[in-house]
């Protein structure tokens, strides 16, 4: 009964979630130990198992059922031969899927809504785009992975500053890397033509912004934002999430919960200020000056019909310039810059949370104001007041979204993801050009058997064409339109 409860009930999903959060807690714990002047050697002298990275764990037992199944089907030797090469692919696939499950459980606990979570099982012949990958995985996989890498960079930089050894964390970083690259690795039918189309579509999605502000959009603002059609942009996608988050949670949860959120943000800020070394605070001032320049640039951006050049100028001063300066200097400066930036961002988040909470209590915006009655004059005035309150609150949310680095942080992450996708996709295209290795390993060995070396396949199209045309034989370059899945 206990085993059936674990494997066939909610305990399995909670276990996935606990394993997921333990990964980030593990890295963060070593950062805190290093900031407390405890080296890896000190941890080892205490007799702690944390002083070494473990490669063998109880999770390996989960692979045995597949080995037993292959043994029963093919015999001992052939089953073992089929089992061993499949280990890397299975590990990568289930590492990604289990992260999807853990993120879905966490979102359900936080929102009370059980939404469908894709577990990475699309049509094997359908090429999906980078934009689709981002929309599906940005919150569940991409952002947590980038956060793990950021904490590890801080951890290793602090250890270099103190001239002490650091834990390699190969398995932690490998898991985070799988979260980032698995969607592109398992994307079928890669060609240079599809790469060019994906890159162009995703770049337009990342850098484009609406030509008008929320203030000049018709009510309700949520329906005026492009988030799912071909004109969708990164700016509008995350702005819509900001608007929905503040309005929906305000009516669903009591004010005490929102006060608790504000208290939590302030507590994190004080913890950061109390934990970071004193050498970090001069860098906080330098970054604050850069933030003031960013503020001025974004105000000019608003007044000059939103040119993209000003966005990138503000982005360069706030993000790229400190990283370049850090790369040209010592490792200690790199760690100090990261920590100072975290203090600045958390301070802005606490200030934004406080102002929006006060305004919400004053305006009490109602996201369902369009459903109010409009029959009598009193109803009409009540509806117009709710309409005005929502519009004013929407304008304020967009103001903080732009000026408090929220949009720029999403932009920075999206640019990093663009570079990772481009690098991995180029490798996948070249592998597919080498006798169809990518499609052969990923989908079916028959897909690569008829391809010669450096022959690019045409994307699969249902019906029509001979087998040789579908395989891409004789294609000197990229065949067809190159978009996988047709």
Q: pLDDT tens-digit profile of 140-171?
A: 899 999 999 988 988 888 888 777 878 888 88
Helix-helix angle 130-137:192-207, to 10 degrees: 50
Q: Which residue has the tokens 């807690």?
A: 25
What's the average model confidence in pLDDT over 449-471?
Answer: 49
In this structure, of 310-314, 352-356, 465-469, the range with the lowest mean pLDDT score is 465-469
Distance in angstroms (rounded) separating the CA atoms of residues 130 and 462: 23
Please indicate whether residue 457 or residue 374 has the higher confidence score (pLDDT): 374
Question: Taking the complete model, does pTM exceed 0.85, yes or no?
Answer: no
Instruction: Report how far apart, in Å, the C-alpha atoms of 463 and of each of 460, 466, 471, 483, 486 are.
Output: 9, 9, 13, 16, 11
Q: Say if residue 275's pLDDT is above 90.
A: no
Q: Say if residue 373's pLDDT is above 70.
A: yes
Q: Say if residue 137's pLDDT is above 80.
A: yes
How confident is residue 468, by pLDDT bands cut at 50, 70 and 90? Answer: very low
In this structure, of 115-119, 352-356, 451-455, the range with the lowest mean pLDDT score is 451-455
pLDDT of residue 8: 61
Please indicate whether residue 466 or residue 407 has the higher confidence score (pLDDT): 407
How confident is residue 484, by pLDDT bands cut at 50, 70 and 90? Answer: very low
Q: Say if residue 214's pLDDT is above 70.
A: yes
pLDDT of residue 199: 92
- Closest C-alpha among 80, 107, 133 to residue 17: 107
CB contact set of 230 (below 8 Å; sequence gap of 6+): none
pLDDT of residue 475: 34
Average pLDDT, the chain: 78
pLDDT more than 90, % of the chain: 11
Q: Say if residue 422's pLDDT is above 90.
A: yes
Q: 322-327 — which CB contacts under 8 Å span 24+ positions?
A: 322/286, 322/287, 322/290
């Amino acid at each position: 009964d206990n085993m059936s409860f674990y494997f066939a009930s909610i305990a399995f999903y909670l276990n996935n979630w606990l394993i997921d959060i333990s990964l980030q807690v593990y890295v963060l714990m070593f950062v805190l130990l290093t900031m407390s002047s405890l080296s890896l050697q000190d941890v080892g002298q205490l007799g702690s198992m944390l002083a070494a990275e473990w490669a063998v764990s109880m999770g390996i037992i989960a692979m045995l059922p597949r080995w037993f199944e292959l043994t029963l089907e093919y015999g001992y030797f052939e089953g073992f031969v089929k089992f061993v090469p499949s280990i890397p692919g299975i590990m990568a696939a289930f590492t990604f899927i289990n992260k999807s499950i853990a993120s879905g459980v966490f979102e359900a606990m936080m929102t009370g809504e059980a939404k469908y979570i894709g577990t990475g099982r699309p049509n094997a012949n359908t090429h999906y785009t980078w934009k689709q990958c981002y929309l599906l995985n940005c919150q569940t996989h991409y952002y947590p992975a980038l956060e793990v890498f950021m904490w590890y960079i801080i951890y290793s930089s602090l250890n270099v500053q103190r001239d002490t050894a650091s834990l390699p964390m190969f398995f932690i970083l490998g898991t985070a890397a799988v979260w980032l690259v698995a969607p592109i690795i398992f994307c079928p039918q890669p060609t240079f033509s599809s790469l060019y189309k994906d890159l162009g579509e995703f770049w337009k999605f990342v850098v484009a912004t609406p030509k008008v502000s929320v203030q000049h959009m018709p009510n309700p603002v949520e329906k005026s934002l492009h988030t799912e059609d071909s004109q969708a942009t990164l700016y509008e996608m995350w702005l819509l999430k900001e608007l929905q988050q503040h309005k929906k949670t305000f009516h669903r949860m009591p004010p005490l919960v929102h006060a608790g959120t504000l208290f939590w943000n302030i507590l994190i800020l004080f913890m950061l200020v109390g934990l970071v070394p004193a050498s970090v605070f001069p860098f906080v001032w330098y970054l604050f000056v850069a933030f003031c320049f960013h503020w001025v640039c974004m105000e000019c951006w608003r007044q000059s019909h939103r040119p993209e050049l000003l966005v990138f100028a503000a982005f360069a001063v706030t993000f790229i310039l400190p990283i370049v300066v850090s790369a040209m200097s010592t490792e200690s400066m790199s760690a100090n810059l990261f920590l100072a930036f975290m203090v600045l961002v958390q301070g802005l988040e606490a200030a934004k949370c406080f102002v929006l909470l006060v305004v919400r209590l004053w305006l009490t915006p109602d996201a369902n104001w369009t459903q109010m009655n409009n029959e009598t004059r009193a109803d009409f005035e009540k509806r117009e007041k709710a309409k005005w309150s929502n519009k004013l609150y929407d304008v304020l949310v967009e103001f903080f979204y732009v000026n408090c680095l929220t949009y720029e942080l999403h932009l920075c992450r999206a640019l990093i993801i663009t570079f990772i996708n481009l690098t991995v996709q180029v490798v996948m295209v070249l592998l597919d050009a080498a006798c169809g290795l990518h499609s052969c390993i990923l989908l079916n060995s028959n897909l690569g058997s008829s391809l010669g070396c450096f022959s690019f396949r045409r994307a699969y199209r249902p019906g029509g064409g001979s087998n040789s045309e579908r395989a891409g034989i004789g294609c000197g370059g990229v065949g067809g339109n190159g978009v996988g899945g047709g």
